[in-house]
Amino acid sequence: MVSVNAGLMNCDALQHVLKTYWGFDDYLPLQREAMQCVLEDRDSLVVMPTGGGKSLCYQAPAMCRDGLAVVVSPLVALMKDQVDGLRTNGVPAAAVNSTLAADQKRDIVRQIESGRLRLLYMSPEKLLAPRTLEFLQDRRVSFFAIDEAHCISAWGHDFRPEYRDLCRLRECFPGIAIHAYTATATEQVRRDIVAQLGLRAAVLVGDFRRPNLQYHVARRERGLNQVCSVIDRFRGQSGIVYCITRADVDKTCVVLRETGYSVLPYHAGMSDDDRARNQDAFLAEQVDTIVATIAFGMGIDKSNVRYVVHAGMPKSLENYQQESGRAGRDGVEAECWLLYSGGDVMKWRRVFEHSIHDARAASEAALEKINAYATSVTCRHASLIEHFGQKWDEGPCHACDVCLGKLEVVDDALVIGQKIISCVLRVGERFGADYVSLVLAGSREQRIRSAGHDQLSTWGILSEFRRQDVRQWIEQLVNQEFLRKDGEYHVVCVTNEGRRLLAGEVDPILMRPPKETRTQTPASVIDSWEGVDQGVFDALRQLRRDEATRRSVPAYIVFSDATLRDMARRRPSTVERLLDVRGVGQQKSADFGPQFVECIVAYCRQHGVAMDVQPESITRDSSPSAVAVQSFPLFDEGLSAEEAATRLGRALSTTYGYLESYIRQRRITDPARWVSRRELEQVAVVVQHAGAERLKPIHEALHGRVDYERIRIVLACLANQVAAQQVDHDRLSGRAGQR
Q: What is the pLDDT of residues 216-268, one digit of tens each?
A: 998 887 778 899 989 988 888 999 999 998 999 999 998 898 888 999 999 88
Query: Phi then psi for 45, rounded to 5 degrees?
Result: -120, 120
| Residue 622: per-residue pLDDT | 44
More confident site: 259 or 502: 502
695 pLDDT band, cuts 50/70/90, is low
More confident site: 522 or 613: 613
In whole angstroms, give the CA distance from residue 682 to residue 688: 10
**Residues contacting 48, CB < 8 A, separation 6+:** 30, 54, 57, 181, 183, 206
> Do 153 and 193 touch, CB atoms closer than 8 A?
yes
Which segment, 30-34, 50-54, 98-102, 389-393, is predicted with the most confidence on average?
A: 30-34
Helical H segments across 376-430, by residue range: 380-387, 413-426
| Residue 620: per-residue pLDDT | 39
Helical H segments across 115-202, by residue range: 124-127, 130-137, 161-164, 168-172, 187-197
Architecture of domain 617-731: Orthogonal Bundle (1.10)
| Residue 57: per-residue pLDDT | 94
| Residue 731: per-residue pLDDT | 64
Burial 409-425 (b: 16+ CB within 10 A, else e): ebeebbebbbbbbbbbe
Percentage of the chain surpassing pLDDT 70? 88
More confident site: 610 or 431: 431
In whole angstroms, give the CA distance from residue 649 to residue 354: 41
| Residue 2: per-residue pLDDT | 40
**Residues contacting 659, CB < 8 A, separation 6+:** 631, 635, 641, 644, 674, 713
Point out which residues pair with 68 in neighbouring strands.
Answer: 141
Cα angle for residues 263, 335, 298 (degrees, 5° grid):
65
Q: Which regions of the chain carry the CATH code 1.10.10.10?
A: 408-512
Which segment, 223-227, 341-345, 597-601, is predicted with the most confidence on average?
A: 597-601
| Residue 524: per-residue pLDDT | 45
In whole angstroms, give the CA distance from residue 69 to residue 615: 37
| Residue 682: per-residue pLDDT | 87
Please give the C-alpha separations between residue 517 and each of 29, 122, 306, 413, 419, in angstroms, as whole numbers: 35, 48, 20, 21, 28
Over range 71-97, report the average pLDDT.
Answer: 88
Q: What is the pLDDT of residues 539-577, one digit of tens each?
A: 999 999 899 888 888 888 899 888 998 999 899 999 888
| Residue 301: per-residue pLDDT | 67
3-state secondary structure of 131: helix
Q: Which regions of the chain carry the CATH code 3.40.50.300?
A: 6-205, 213-387
The answer to whether residue 1 scores a pLDDT higher than 50 is no
> Do 213 and 528 touch, CB atoms closer than 8 A?
no
Q: What is the pLDDT of residues 404-427, one digit of tens each?
A: 888 778 888 999 999 999 999 999
| Residue 67: per-residue pLDDT | 92
In whole angstroms, give the CA distance from residue 517 to residue 526: 20
| Residue 30: per-residue pLDDT | 86
In whole angstroms, give the CA distance from residue 34 to residue 623: 36
735 pLDDT band, cuts 50/70/90, is low
| Residue 7: per-residue pLDDT | 36
In whole angstroms, give the CA distance from residue 462 to residue 258: 40
Q: What is the fold of 531-612? A: DNA polymerase; domain 1 (1.10.150)
Q: What is the pLDDT of residues 422-464, one digit of tens each?
A: 999 999 999 999 899 999 999 999 999 999 999 999 999 999 9
In whole angstroms, give the CA distance from residue 425 to residue 609: 70
CA 603, chain centre distance (Å): 32
Over range 631-640, report the average pLDDT.
Answer: 86
Q: What is the fold of 6-205? A: Rossmann fold (3.40.50)
| Residue 119: per-residue pLDDT | 95
| Residue 617: per-residue pLDDT | 43
In whole angstroms, give the CA distance from residue 73 to residue 148: 7
Over range 106-128, report the average pLDDT.
Answer: 92
Note the CATH number of domain 213-387: 3.40.50.300
Q: Which regions of the chain carry the CATH code 1.10.150.80?
A: 531-612
Task: Quickly count: other Cβ atoms within 10 Å of residue 114's Cβ.
Answer: 8
159 pLDDT band, cuts 50/70/90, is low
Note the CATH number of domain 408-512: 1.10.10.10
In whole angstroms, give the CA distance from residue 736 to residue 730: 10
> Do 152 and 166 touch, CB atoms closer than 8 A?
yes
Task: Give the mean pLDDT of the chain.
Answer: 84
3-state secondary structure of 205: strand
Q: What is the pLDDT of residues 467-488, one digit of tens each?
A: 888 988 998 898 888 999 888 7
| Residue 612: per-residue pLDDT | 85
Task: Quickly count: other Cβ atoms within 10 Å of residue 488's Cβ.
Answer: 6
